[in-house]
Amino acid sequence: MEPGLQQTSSHGAPFPDPDMQIPPDSVASPWRSTRPWRTTSHSYFYLSTTALVCLVVAMAIILVLVVQKKDSTPRTTDKVPLKGGNCSEDLLCTLKRTPFKKSWAYLRVSKHLNNTKLSWNQDGIIHGVGYQDGNLVVQFPGWYFIICQLQFFVQCSNHSVDLSLRLLVNSKVKKQALVTVCESGIQTKNIYQNLSQFLLYYLQVNSTISVMVDNFQYVDTNTFPLQNVLSIFLYSSSN
């Protein structure tokens, strides 16, 4: 073997030129080309899963609300007909179920009205409250809820009509409702108008509660007599 060849084999292959070296980052790798795709696919998977979970939760909430609404809807049968217009019956039922029964009253308007100050049928429910000349008379001091509802019926002519409802405590107006019907230019023959007011007021012993209207002849005591009511109950006693 020639000496030149022995020298070459003992030193190994010649060292490559530094300018010809390949950077580490440029080395091809089978995993590097798939990383962006895998990251994007994971993002889409998480987003789709989150959206699906939110949709399922929303549907569950809607189903629960629908079931609750059906359960809370009162059921009627043929044996218990609906009473159209008798809205005050709900008020009476509510008063009977309340724990505030120390002092309360529920009266319907008298059919024989001849004054702007209304009178009431004394065959209603009165407990712990007096009645005299159209006035409810308080017997226990405290905070009272006062509720009045009236139904009016007007046959329109050529002029407008003012309807009113005034709640009075000790002959002083504390709450009122006013409305004008049968206005000019409106082609209406008959009008049913409901007015109502409520008041929370502190009353002393012997305080009086009354109701006044402007045109008592329009108070409808025939069509919906149960809608003309005056009611009070003791909410908070000072004793």
Q: Summarize pLDDT for 20-60 with one digit per residue, the tens.
A: 454 544 444 444 444 554 556 666 666 777 777 777 677 76
Per CATH, is 88-237 categorized as 3.20.20.60? no
Please report where in the chains the tokens 């089978």 appear, as a residue: 30
Determine the Cα–Cα distance for residues 153 and 224; give it in Å rounded to an integer.
Answer: 10
The pTM for the full model equals: 0.58
Question: What confidence category does residue 182 fall into, taking pLDDT thresholds of 50, 70 and 90?
Answer: confident
Tokens of 67: 């079931």
**What's the pLDDT score for residue 44?**
64
Q: Which H or E run includes 192?
A: strand 190-203
**What's the pLDDT score for residue 190?**
86
| CB-based burial, 142-176: b 16+ in 10 Å, e otherwise | bebbbbbbbbbbbebeeeebebbbbbbbeeeeeee
* Residue extents of the structural domains in the chain: 37-70, 88-237
The tally of CA atoms less than 13 A away on the side-chain side of residue 216 is 13
Determine the Cα–Cα distance for residues 42 and 52; give it in Å rounded to an integer.
Answer: 15
Determine the Cα–Cα distance for residues 54 and 61; give it in Å rounded to an integer.
Answer: 11
Q: Residue type for 47, please? A: L
